[in-house]
Amino acid sequence: MAEENTVFIGKKPTMNYVLAVVTQFNSGSNDVIIKARGRAISRAVDVAEIVRHRFIHNAVVKDIKIETETLTGEGGRSANVSSIEIYMSK
């Protein structure tokens, strides 16, 4: 799946990301991946749920993967952060 079908969830309002996912589906994509790390994970779940309940009623959550990513800071210290990938299809 191409990188352009992926929506990264950050700190903006939830509806911004809902709009991004809906736009992907409406511009011809049959698959969209929603990715998030750390505290944005809750928002990623909100986005998937709002998209399929309110906007794209034939969209389903096909798969969900969780992982641990290791981020290395400037000082060379590393921190582990959880991430989620939600695979949606219509």
| CB nearer to a copy of itself: pick between 20 and 36 | 36
Binding-site size, a copy of itself (CB under 8 A): 20
The answer to whether the CB of 17 falls within 8 A of the CB of 9 is yes
Among 26, 53, 60, 79, binds a copy of itself (CB under 8 A): 53
Residue 34 interacts with a copy of itself (CB under 8 A): yes or no:
no
Residue 48 interacts with a copy of itself (CB under 8 A): yes or no:
yes
Residue 24 burial class via C-beta count within 10 angstroms: exposed 0-12, middle 13-18, buried 19 and up: buried
Q: What's the closest the beta carbon of residue 76 comes to a copy of itself, in angstroms?
A: 21
Among 10, 67, 71, 79, binds a copy of itself (CB under 8 A): 67
**Residue 48 and residue 34: Cα distance in Å, rounded?**
8
Region of residue 37 (phi > 0: left; psi between -120 and 50: alpha; otherwise: beta)? beta
Q: Which residues contact 42 (CB under 8 A, 6 or more apart)?
A: none
Chain residues that interact with a copy of itself, rule: CB under 8 A = 38-42, 45-46, 48-49, 53, 61, 64-68, 80, 82, 84, 86
